[in-house]
Amino acid sequence: MPRLLLPLLTLTIAALAAMVLSVSYGSVPVPVADILAVLQGQGSELQRTLIMDLRLPRTLSAFATGGLLAVAGALMQVLLRNPLADPYVLGLSGGAAVGALTMMLLGLGGLFISSAAFAGALLATLLVFGLAHGMGSWTPSRLLLTGVVVAAGWGALITLMLALAPAQRLPGMLYWLMGDLSYARTPAPALLVLLLTCLLVIPLGRSLNVLARGPMQAAALGVSVQPLEWTVYVMASLLTAVAVTTAGSIGFVGLVVPHMLRLVLGNDQRLILPACALAGGTLLVLADTLARTLIAPEQLPVGVITALLGVPTFLYLLSRSR
């Protein structure tokens, strides 16, 4: 058990450090002493607004979103037994994007955008599930092919919407597609879902370990494969839907964080899944801090930073692993 606990402890410390960093840095400097005062309910009104209304909710949203995406990515990779799988491979972000962009085209904001994104994500999930399930056998490769084709369809719709959109709405739509935490409203739902996921996923870890070796072996070892695969699919879809609803379709976290952790920690799902929640959250918190401050007052979309941070780290780990 200490073998499992030590990495998780390290990652927890890293996550807390990242969150402290994120709350301490912004485009307006606030001294550490004042931040502590604000957290104790003191400090000036402006500082309270900066820390409690702007930075803290955004930091928590970033952590929750990153964690959800990384766990969803890890689950998809196990389910599809494909290293290229990420939370968006089955077209879920495409469905969410069509929902969100429709609301933007109609000039509606805030709650409309996030509800439409959530509805779109669920629709995409049901569509892929129904089509892959429709006739004959339900296999991961069938699911993958259906998902990829449906995703291409969503992609075409998105391009069509961008082409028809009035010029002044384009930047907002592109930012949403690149993923951006300034859309984040309240962090509570995403954090809650992340916490529940971690509690649900840990007892599944053993069966997932067996499933990762292939459905035949899993069945031979007494795992009821199909119900497990459905559970994993529904779960990964819900996590992704919540993440996309919070902050648009942030790329890269869901693909690369699980791989990074496997390179370092080995492929034990009992460890990888909670580790993904922590490491994904940490990466996104750091990336968002940079996105807010790097060229302030101009703001970068966080998706750019996750890729710029993640690509060299991942390549380094990959080259070291052999």
Partner 1 sequence: MRPMLLVLVVMLVPAMAQASQRCAVDDTGREVCLAAPAQRIATLSPGATELTWAAGAGEQVVAIVAYSDYPPQAQQATSVGSHTRIDLERLMSLAPDLVVAWVTGNPAEQVETLRSLGLPVFSIEPREFEDVASVIERLAYLAGTEVPGNAEANRFRTGMAALADEYAHRDPVRVFYQVWNEPLMTINDQHLIGKVVTLCGGDNVFGELPRLVPRIDREVVIAANPEAILAGGMGEENRHWLTYWQQFPGLLATRQDNLFFIPPSLIQRPTPRMLEGTRLFCEKLDRARARR
**Contact between 26 and partner 1 per CB under 8 A:** yes
Residues touching partner 1, count (CB under 8 A): 32
The span from the CA of 293 to the CA of 116, in Å, is 30
Q: Minimum distance between the CB of residue 181 and partner 1, rounded to whole angstroms?
A: 11
Q: Is residue 31 near partner 1 by the rule CB under 8 A? A: no
Contact flag: residue 185 with partner 1 (CB under 8 A): yes
* Distance separating the N- and C-terminal Cα atoms of the chain: 27
Residue 110 binds to partner 1 (criterion: CB under 8 A): yes
**Number of C-beta neighbours around residue 282 at 10 A:** 26
CB under 8 A: which stretch of 59-67, 140-148, 172-180, 306-314 binds partner 1?
172-180
Residue whose C-alpha is closest to residue 161's, from 243, 92, 103: 103
Least distance CB 171 / partner 1 (angstroms): 4
Least CB distance to partner 1 at residue 21 (A)? 15
Contact status: 33 vs partner 1 (CB under 8 A): no
41 binds partner 1 (CB under 8 A): no
* Minimum separation from the CB atom of position 244 to partner 1 (A): 15
Q: Which stretch, 139-147, 161-169, 205-213, 273-281, contacts partner 1 (CB under 8 A)?
A: 161-169
State which of residues 9, 17, 32, 53 lies at the interface with partner 1 (CB under 8 A): 53
Which residue lies nearer to partner 1 by CB, 170 or 195? 170
Residue reference for tokens 């009821």 = 224
Q: Does position 108 bind partner 1 by CB under 8 A?
A: yes
49 binds partner 1 (CB under 8 A): yes
Alpha-helix runs per DSSP H in the chain: 2-24, 32-39, 45-48, 56-80, 92-105, 111-134, 140-164, 170-178, 188-212, 215-220, 225-247, 253-265, 269-293, 302-320
Residue with Cβ nearer partner 1 (54 or 198): 54
- Return the residue of 5, 9, 46, 195 that touches partner 1, per CB under 8 A: 46
Q: For residues 94 and 249, give the distance between their C-alpha atoms in angstroms, rounded to a whole number.
A: 9
Q: Are 255 and 76 in contact (CB under 8 A)?
A: no
Under 8 Å between Cβ of 61 and 53: no
Under the criterion CB under 8 A, does residue 175 sit at the interface with partner 1? yes
Write the burial class of residue 321 (CB in 10 Å: 0-12 exposed, 13-18 middle, 19+ buried). Answer: exposed
